[in-house]
């Protein structure tokens, strides 16, 4: 391919709407173009990258006995009504009607389609286990698409679905798939991806893992223990607080705290530490706006995922008005009345001498003893794990909190979908059973962007060899020089003959423009033929990642390049 003919524009200025480097570089390098919010078109360089990623995905899925199938993008609403998700999923699921007013949806995931495809096939135990997967376009109407290809509305995804007759078999396969994912990320050039325990969210099921690429721009927070191998998504990480009573309990006393509404203000005013306080975080049930009050230790934050899982319904941050049964800024567990759901985080269990709201404007209590003053209270884990917190695995205060991009996930779904969609098989005793499912996803575009995010410099992406759009970027500097042009043309053709993916820049432009374009395309090997090099009888070969830069004799150039690849 001649660079002159490559459709797409490359330019120097960082686009103002790009918050993350991968997005800016992929726009500046002519990889992608904005179509609508969270929707992009790909130019050829990106298409070549994603096709290589897809091929890696395909090979690794085939290697664990996956069968490539294809589900439709457009599905009938009835299929999603069967699983119950037509009602339970919010606006992310695009719903529309066809010319006959039949309700349809756009596929954002394909558990329903997978069950539907194999429901008749999988009627006997001897068909199991099996795994089917597809690589297909999906659409999810995200509220806030951002960061280029990292959070989009339309995306290409590899999604796989396995079916089993026992939990043990699922777990074995889950482990195989976990290893396949490790191979995929290693082959794609990011072996540093870590898998972390996660919350299963809307997918259902219990055990699940996310594969995280740690980078500051990640949207997810991950708790990692520096001592043992514990890793978990913040949403799923258990928060452990060890509390020991240090002093005898004081009496419960109401104190005047004028205009001190936040827990920080109150603690400062009363000269106490936030660790000795109890704060209230208030939500409302989506369906009827009923209030939910969560009490937790003043220095901790609420983990909404744990809260939602406990409640079993969707909630939103509360709007407290004068008509509400709650006194905003002064809410506490003592004498709290009104039609509200009250929950306690286990950080509070056993605490004494605690400061808390008095449910009365401008008043707090001090000296609260949770054992003495509150009866029949249940404590659960509703708090976020903290930097420096206790590791749920090794018990040391060694938790660090990091940011990461989720580049893949695997779920043990159990029988959520096979039960709701009534998929059954006869086991070896002739008894009807529901198969047990796992599902396994990797977003292709997001993976490409994530790789760019951790493999770039100021001048462009540094694509790992296995997914680079080309292997060699050949520059003929000053192609008006006959010797340069003749040698470069010949080398280009020789490389093509050898099956090397080469992009050839023989434009009449300055070396500066050539090199900055080469940097933006991020091809592993750059080969420069120039008048000076030709005069010295050499070509210059350098690595995009700057790991080497050498001169090869012109007559050995081809050989040297092949060797370096």
Binding site for a copy of itself (CB under 8 A): 5-9, 33, 35-37, 39-44, 46-48, 50-51, 65, 67-76, 79, 91, 94, 96, 98-99, 102, 104, 106, 113, 116-118, 120-121, 127, 130, 132, 134, 136-137, 139, 141, 143, 153-154
- Residue 510 CB neighbours (<10 A): 11
Residue among 8 and 84 whose Cβ is closer to a copy of itself: 8
**How close are the terminal C-alpha atoms of the chain, in Å?**
18
Q: Is 331 exposed, middle or buried (0-12, 13-18, 19+ CB in 10 A)?
A: buried
238, 290, 558 from 303: Cα distances, Å: 10, 19, 58
Smallest separation, CB 101 to a copy of itself (Å): 11
What SS3 class is residue 484?
helix
Smallest separation, CB 47 to a copy of itself (Å): 5
Q: With contact defined as beta carbons under 8 Å apart, do 368 and 352 qualify?
A: yes
Residue among 162 and 533 whose Cβ is closer to a copy of itself: 162
> What's the chain's length in residues?
565
Smallest separation, CB 37 to a copy of itself (Å): 8
Residue among 8 and 201 whose Cβ is closer to a copy of itself: 8
Strands (E) across 371-466 are located at 379-380, 399-414, 425-426, 432-433, 436-443, 456-457, 460-461
Smallest separation, CB 424 to a copy of itself (Å): 16
The residue to which tokens 């360089």 are assigned: 45
Smallest separation, CB 222 to a copy of itself (Å): 29
Smallest separation, CB 58 to a copy of itself (Å): 9
Asked if residue 113 has a cis previous peptide bond (ω within 30° of 0), the answer is no
Residue among 86 and 365 whose Cβ is closer to a copy of itself: 86
DSSP characters for 486-507?
HHHHHHHHHHHHTT--EEEE--
Smallest separation, CB 414 to a copy of itself (Å): 21
Rg (CA), the chain: 29
Residue among 113 and 294 whose Cβ is closer to a copy of itself: 113
Residue among 55 and 261 whose Cβ is closer to a copy of itself: 55
DSSP code for 98: -
């Amino acid at each position: 391919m001649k660079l002159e003919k490559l459709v797409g524009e490359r330019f120097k200025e960082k686009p103002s709407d790009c918050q993350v480097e991968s997005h800016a570089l992929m726009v500046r390098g002519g990889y992608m173009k904005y179509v609508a919010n969270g929707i992009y078109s790909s130019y050829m360089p990106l298409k070549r990258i994603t096709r290589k990623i897809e091929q890696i995905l395909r090979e690794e899925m085939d290697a664990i006995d996956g069968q490539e199938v294809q589900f439709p993008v457009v599905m009938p609403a009835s299929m999603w009504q069967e699983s119950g998700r037509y009602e339970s999923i919010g606006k992310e699921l695009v719903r529309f009607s066809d010319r006959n007013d039949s309700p349809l949806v756009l596929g954002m995931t394909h558990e329903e389609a997978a069950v539907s495809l194999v429901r008749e096939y999988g009627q006997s135990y001897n068909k199991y286990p099996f795994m089917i997967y597809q690589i297909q376009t999906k659409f999810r109407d995200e509220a806030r698409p951002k960061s280029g290809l990292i959070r989009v509305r339309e995306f290409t995804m590899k999604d796989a679905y396995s079916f089993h007759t026992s939990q043990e078999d699922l777990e074995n396969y889950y482990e195989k798939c976990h290893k396949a994912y490790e191979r995929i990320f290693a082959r794609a050039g990011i072996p540093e991806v870590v898998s972390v325990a996660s919350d299963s969210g809307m997918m259902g099921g219990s055990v699940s893992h996310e594969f995280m690429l740690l980078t500051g721009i990640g949207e997810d927070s991950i708790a990692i223990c520096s001592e043992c191998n514990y890793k978990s998504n913040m949403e799923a990480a258990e928060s452990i607080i060890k509390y020991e009573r240090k002093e005898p309990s004081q009496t419960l006393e109401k104190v005047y705290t004028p205009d001190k509404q936040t827990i920080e203000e109150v603690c400062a005013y009363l000269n106490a530490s936030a660790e000795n306080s109890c704060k209230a975080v208030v939500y409302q049930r989506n369906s009827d706006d009923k209030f939910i009050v969560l009490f937790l230790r003043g220095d901790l934050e609420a983990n909404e995922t744990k809260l939602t899982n406990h409640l079993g319904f969707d909630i939103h941050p509360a709007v407290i008005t004068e008509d509400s049964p709650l006194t905003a800024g002064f809410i506490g567990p003592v004498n709290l009345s009104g039609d509200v759901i009250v929950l306690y985080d286990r950080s509070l269990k056993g605490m004494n001498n605690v400061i808390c709201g008095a449910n009365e404007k401008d008043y707090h209590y001090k000296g609260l003893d949770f054992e003495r003053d509150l009866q029949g209270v249940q404590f659960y884990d509703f708090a976020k794990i903290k930097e420096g917190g206790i590791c749920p695995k090794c018990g040391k205060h060694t938790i660090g909190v990091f940011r990461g991009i989720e580049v893949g996930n695997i779920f043990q779904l159990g029988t959520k979908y096979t039960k709701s969609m009534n998929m059954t098989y006869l086991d070896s005793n002739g008894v009807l059973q529901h198969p047990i499912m796992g599902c396994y996803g990797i977003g292709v575009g997001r993976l490409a962007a994530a790789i760019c995010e951790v493999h770039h410099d100021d001048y462009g992406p540094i694509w790992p060899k296995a997914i680079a759009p080309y292997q060699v970027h050949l520059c003929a500097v000053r192609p008006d020089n006959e010797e340069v042009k003749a040698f470069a043309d010949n080398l280009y053709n020789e490389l093509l003959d050898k099956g090397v993916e080469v992009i050839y820049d023989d434009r009449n432009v300055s070396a500066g423009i050539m090199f900055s374009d080469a940097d933006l395309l991020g091809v592993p090997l750059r080969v420069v033929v120039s008048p000076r090099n030709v005069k010295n009888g050499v070509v210059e070969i350098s690595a995009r990642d700057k790991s080497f830069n050498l001169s090869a004799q012109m007559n050995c150039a081809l050989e040297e390049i092949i060797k370096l690849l």
